[in-house]
Amino acid sequence: MWKEKTLLMDEKAIGRAIRRIAHEIIERNKGLDKTVLVGIHTRGVPLAQRLGRELAAIEGRHVPVYDLDISAYRDDDRKSPIAVSDAGKFDADGKTVVLVDDVLFTGRTVRSALNAIMELGRPQFIELAVLVDRGHRELPIRADYVGKNVPTSRKEDVSVQLKETDSCDRVVLREEN
Ligand SMILES: O=P(O)(O)OC[C@H]1O[C@H](OP(=O)(O)OP(=O)(O)O)[C@H](O)[C@@H]1O
Ligand SMILES: O=c1cc[nH]c(=O)[nH]1
C-alpha cells in the first residue's frame, strides 16, 4: 500500500512546467522545422499531446505527436511498437525526436524507447523531456528538459496523475505504508 506524503506539483505547476519546456524546445532547436514528439505510454502520451498543443500555440504550427508503447516492444511484438496517433506515417529520418515521459527513474524505459526509435528510422537528434526526474539512474541517460527535479529515496514513489488517464492533474510523492 502506498501512502501519499507530499504534493510535488499541482495542476498549475504542471501547466507551467509544460509551457516552459515548450519554450526550451523551441529555443534549443531554433524552431520546430524538424521536431517530432514521441510520448511513452502511458502518461508520456498525454504529456506529449499537451506539449504539442503548447508548441502549436507558441509557434503557430503543427508538430507531429506519436505514441510509443514500450510494453509491446519489450514483449517482442515487433509488428508496431509505434502506434501512430497523427496523420501520416512515423518518419524520424533526419528529424529531432523529442521523447516525452512522466517520470525518469532508472532510465531503463528510455533505453527501450531509444532502441525502438532507432529501429524505425535514423533521427538526427533524440532529446528527452520528462515531467519529473527523481534520480537513481542505472544507465548513462539524462533528460534535456525537466519539469521538476525531485530528490527521492529508492523506497519512495513518484505518482504522476493526469486528467486524461486519472481524475486530476497532480504529482505526489508516496511511500510504502
Ligand atoms: O526510468 P524507469 O526506471 O524506467 O522508470 C520510469 C518509467 O516508469 C513508469 O512507467 P511504468 O513502467 O510504471 O508504466 P506506466 O507508464 O504505464 O505507469 C514511468 O511512467 C516511466 O515510464
Ligand atoms: O517513482 C516512480 C518510478 C518509476 N515510475 C514512476 O511512475 N514513478
pLDDT at 8 over 90: yes
For ligand 2, the distance from its centroid to the CA atom of residue 69, given in whole angstroms, is 16
pLDDT of residue 72: 61
pLDDT band at 81 (very low <50, low <70, confident <90, very high): low
Contact 39, 47 (CB under 8 A): yes
CATH code for the domain of 106: 3.40.50.2020
pLDDT at 87 over 50: no
Q: Is there an atom of ligand 1 within 6 Å of 101 CB?
A: yes
| CA of 134, closest atom in ligand 2 | 1
Q: Which one of the ligands is nearest to 153 CA?
A: 2
Dist CA 140 CA 104 (whole Å): 12
Q: Is there an atom of ligand 2 within 6 Å of 65 CB?
A: no
pLDDT of residue 80: 56
Q: Is there an atom of ligand 1 within 6 Å of 42 CB?
A: yes
Dump pLDDT digits (tens) for 96-150.
Answer: 999 999 999 999 999 999 988 988 889 999 999 999 999 999 999 999 999 999 9
Q: Which protein residue's CA is at the shortest distance from atom 21 of ligand 1?
A: 103
Domain that residue 14 falls in = 2-176
Q: Is there an atom of ligand 2 within 6 Å of 175 CB?
A: no
For ligand 1, the distance from its centroid to the CA atom of residue 108, given in whole angstroms, is 9
Dump pLDDT digits (tens) for 15-73.
Answer: 999 999 999 999 999 999 999 999 999 999 999 999 999 999 999 999 999 998 877 66
Mean pLDDT of 87-94: 77
pLDDT of residue 75: 55
Contact 144, 28 (CB under 8 A): yes
pLDDT of residue 90: 84
E strand or H helix that includes residue 100: strand 96-104
Rounded to 5, what percent of the chain is helix, strand, coil? 30, 30, 40
Count structural domains, the chain.
1
For ligand 1, the distance from its centroid to the CA atom of residue 60, given in whole angstroms, is 32
For ligand 2, the distance from its centroid to the CA atom of residue 133, given in whole angstroms, is 9
Q: Which protein residue's CA is at the shortest distance from atom 9 of ligand 1?
A: 103
